[in-house]
Copies of this chain bind each other. A is one copy, B any other.
Amino acid sequence: MKEQHLFYAPEIATTHALNGDDAAHALRVLRMKEGDELWATDGRGTFYEGTALPGGSGKHPECFVDIRHTTTWQRPWRSDIHLAVAPTKNIDRIEWMMEKATEVGLDAFHLLCCANSERRVVKTERLEKIVVSAMKQSHKALKPSIGELTDFRKFIAQPFEGDKFIAHCYCQSDIGDGEKAFLFDVVRPDVPTLVLIGPEGDFSIDEVKAAEAAGFRSISLGESRLRTETAALTAVVHTYLRKTWEPNSAANR
C-alpha cells in the first residue's frame, strides 16, 4: 500500500516552505521535483496541499510549496485530552508511550517531577521529534504540545479549564473521604480532561492529598496492575474512546 507522506511545516502559512529536515527529506529521500504533489500540516489544525518548488543549493536544499488548497482538520475527539506523566527511569518507555498516545490522539503532554521520581531530567527535543513523527505517520494536523518537566506541586497549582483526575493505587480510605471513580465512567465527552499518572513508585500519599485539595478527583484505570507507561496509554485510550464514542452510531465506523 503506497503511503502519502505528510510533512510538518509549522511556518508554512508565512514562509510557503518546508523546514530544513523536511526539505532535505523531500528532495533527497523522496527525490521530489518541481510540480510534484506535496502534503503538509502546520501542526495547529490545518492541512496544506500543493506542489513542490525545489530551491537552495546542494548543502542547503530548500523546498517551497505552491499552496493550492488548505483544509481545517476536524479532530475526532470532542474536547481536549491532556496527559501529565512522571517520566520513567528508562526513557524508552515514555518515548513509545508518547508515540502511541499521539497516534491514538491527544492535545498535550505534561511531564511531572514527583517525590518518587527516579528521573529528574528529560530532553524534550527528542520527545518533540518522536511526537512529530507519530503525528505525520498517523496523518493528523495537530501536534500535541509537550511541557517542560515541572515540579508536581507547581503543576497541580496551575489552572486547567476542565475535569482534573489523578490515577493512583492507594485505597481511597488511605486518602480521605469520597470514593475512587473508574476513569471511563467519569470522563465527560464535551469537557476537557486532564489525567495525572505517577512514577514507578506511584505518587506519595501527600501528593494525592494535595491534588485532591487542588480539585483533582482520584480515579482507577481498572483492576490490572499497570506500569507507568501502560497506565498512561490506557488513560489516553479510555479518554479518547469516551470523547469519540457514540453507542451503536454509524459515527464510530
B241 in contact with A222 (CB, 8 Å): yes
A104 in contact with B224 (CB, 8 Å): yes
CB nearest neighbor in B for A137: B227
What is the total number of copies of this protein in its complex?
2
* Minimum CB–CB distance for A207 against chain B, Å: 13
Within 8 A of B (CB), among A52-100: 76, 96, 100
Q: Does A160 contact B (CB under 8 A)?
A: no
Q: Does A22 contact B (CB under 8 A)?
A: no
Given A238-B241, A241-B238, verify A226-B185 contact (CB < 8 Å).
no
| Bound CA span A76–B224, Å | 8
Given A76-B223, A238-B241, verify A252-B182 contact (CB < 8 Å).
yes
A247 in contact with B104 (CB, 8 Å): no
Most central of A138, A182, A247 by chain B CB within 10 Å: A182
| Contact code string A120-164 (vs B, CB < 8 Å = 1, else 0) | 000000000000000001111000000000000000000000000
Query: Which residues on the B side are within 8 Å of A185 (C-beta)?
Result: 247-248, 252
* Minimum CB–CB distance for A104 against chain B, Å: 6
Q: Does A225 contact B (CB under 8 A)?
A: yes
Q: Does A30 contact B (CB under 8 A)?
A: no
| Bound CA span A1–B76, Å | 39
B241 in contact with A241 (CB, 8 Å): yes
| Contact code string A177-212 (vs B, CB < 8 Å = 1, else 0) | 001111011000000000000000110000000000
| Bound CA span A181–B182, Å | 25
Q: Does A117 contact B (CB under 8 A)?
A: no
Select the stretch in A12-20, A36-44, A229-237 that faces chain B.
A229-237
CB nearest neighbor in B for A169: B1
A105 in contact with B224 (CB, 8 Å): yes
| Bound CA span A185–B139, Å | 25
* Minimum CB–CB distance for A81 against chain B, Å: 12
* Minimum CB–CB distance for A129 against chain B, Å: 17
CB nearest neighbor in B for A204: B1
12 contacts between A and B (CB under 8 A): A1-B116, A1-B202, A100-B230, A103-B226, A104-B230, A181-B253, A185-B247, A220-B252, A222-B240, A223-B244, A224-B240, A234-B237
Q: State the 4 A-B residue pairs at the shortest beta-carbon distance, nearest first.
A: A182-B252, A76-B223, A138-B225, A237-B237
